[in-house]
Chains A and B, each alone.
Chain A
Amino acid sequence: MKIEKNIKLWSSLGMRATFGLIAMELAKKHPDLMITTSDVSTSAGLDRYKKKYPDKFIDVGIAEQNLIGVSAGLSSEGFKVISTTFAPFQTMRCCEQIKVNLGYMKNKVCMVGLASGLVLGNLGFTHCCIEDVGTLRSIPNIAIVTPSDPFELFKVLNEALDYKDSVYIRLTAGSNTKIINDKDYKFKIGKAVEILPGKDVAIIGCGNILGNCIEAASMLREKKIQCSVVNMHTIKPIDEEKIKEIAKKNKLIVTVEEHNVLGGLGTSVAEVLASEVSNCKLVRIGINDFYSSGGSYEYLKKIYGLSVEKIIQTVLSNLKK
């Protein structure tokens, strides 16, 4: 019962505030935990954590290159480190530090990228993040996970601290996130989760945009189209087996991501399909490699074809072809 209660509470709070709550639990579980930030304790929901565990909280100021260097240094000395700031700054501002300190040297740091995707559309594309997955995907020894909802974030964080590599956790959406997982389920980094079964078309998504995928699939099912939905929370290492299995069963795969279609989930799925003999067609929905005018989250989702209606349209038009 407790889990169901948490699912509701956490989804109303959104990923960032939930991250702060989970951090309190992680500190109890891992005595060697250290959370590092770049002046974002409030945005990351970490104010309570900061107050309760001042010795396990390090703020390096607005200096993300130093954030990764200091985090790697702490990791090298045996601490379990979670670093966090807004997604563009957590990934691209310090990209080479991530390459050398975490990828090349294998110092383990769990990086949490806040408010990735389009949720900060009102602030413009300096703060939106549609490039983080593509940027990090080319660096060896770093897993990339986009939890679908705050409950999944809870699961990822618990696993990430003991994972063999550094992990980038990409948070999407704001508060009042859609609940994707309404009851407990088995989660493992690198293993996709089937949300709805089907055999005509499969929607593979990641992040909270999966909420739109589920709605679209439900409406397609009303039209007698057997549409499945798969939560590909881990983009690297991608679940190749699952993708191959889906390609065998379906005529069409549609990937849906709040990221540039170049370099993200769609690209990763395409790479797997490219080595398969399959008649299954792939259509990628996401940001089509351009910066649009700014605006609300809903406005941007429409522009980039990520609204429920647009997902349905894309599926239908491609099923006909």
Chain B
Amino acid sequence: MKTRIALAATGVVVGLWGLWLMLDNVDLPALIRLPLWLGGAVLADDFFLVPLTLVVGWLVTRWSLGPDRHRTVTAVRTTFLYVGLTTLIAIPLLLRQGQGANPTVLPRDYLRDWLLLEATIIAGGLTVFLLQRSRFTLRKSRASSGDIGGR
């Protein structure tokens, strides 16, 4: 219990120090708008990103109920997740493409690179998917040919 009280007390002091820094260094009009951005960050997380992953996760789980699909659902789910995540991070780069402060900021062709990245992720997912499926069908065909245990 002592550890917890010490941790909590330190936390409150450190947090208040941060708050003081904020009040001291940021002027009033900006301070007033800051909570809107903080709230916006929470809303974006809790009412968009997480529900989106939940809905996609639910759809993938439902899809996986079909025959044999549970063998390959990992590849499907991971591919969706990685495509979504990298796209989320790529959004600011895509939005600001060509508007860098100077030509050395955002120098890439981000649209091409993003498409290449997603294609790579999907190709990787597809490879795993096909490998897993072929391994499964192979085992099944061997088993059905009387080779018990798939050996």
Q: Do A and B bind each other?
A: no
Residues of B within 8 A of A (CB): none
